[in-house]
Amino acid sequence: MKEQFQARMLRIHFGESDKWNGKPLYEAILSKCQDLGIAGATVYRGIEGYGASTRIHHASHWKFSRDAPVMLSVIDTEEQIAKLIPHLDEMVQDGLVAMSRVEVIRYVRQEDVRGKA
């Protein structure tokens, strides 16, 4: 089954070492998305990057040096994304949020629609 609709996409950029209430920021945001019933979110860990501070963040083979760039991509309706923004205002201390309108094509197996998958 194929479904097409207009949606919003957020791309939230920050460092892997960023925290919120003692846990990694990416885990906290992903959990908040799930709590709010957001349709989908994915965390990406980058190799290298920099932001406003111009300090280069990079992935490292050494466990004690983990500050790779992270991007969390979130897609849902404009109404659902609007519910997330106030939480990001609290949670993201140093980062960038890019928002865009997107055309979504969602493919769903027929069994999933009937609840049998």
Query: If we measure between CA atoms, which residue out of 56, 51, 95, 103 comes closest to residue 77?
Result: 103
Number of structural domains in the chain: 1
Give, as one character, the DSSP assignment of residue 53: T
11: buried, middle or exposed (CB in 10 Å: 19+, 13-18, 0-12)?
A: middle
Total-model pTM: 0.81
Q: State the CATH number of the domain containing residue 44.
A: 3.30.70.120
- Is a pLDDT exceeding 90 seen at residue 18? yes
Say which residues have a Cβ less than 8 Å from residue 24's Cβ, sequence separation at least 6.
16, 18
Q: What is the pLDDT of residues 56-93, one digit of tens each?
A: 666 665 554 567 899 999 999 999 999 999 999 999 99
Q: Domain range holding 67? A: 2-114
- Is a pLDDT exceeding 50 seen at residue 117? no
Identify residue 61 by its one-letter amino acid code: H
Report the alpha-carbon distance of residue 65 to residue 115 in Å, rounded.
44
pLDDT, residue 92, reads: 96
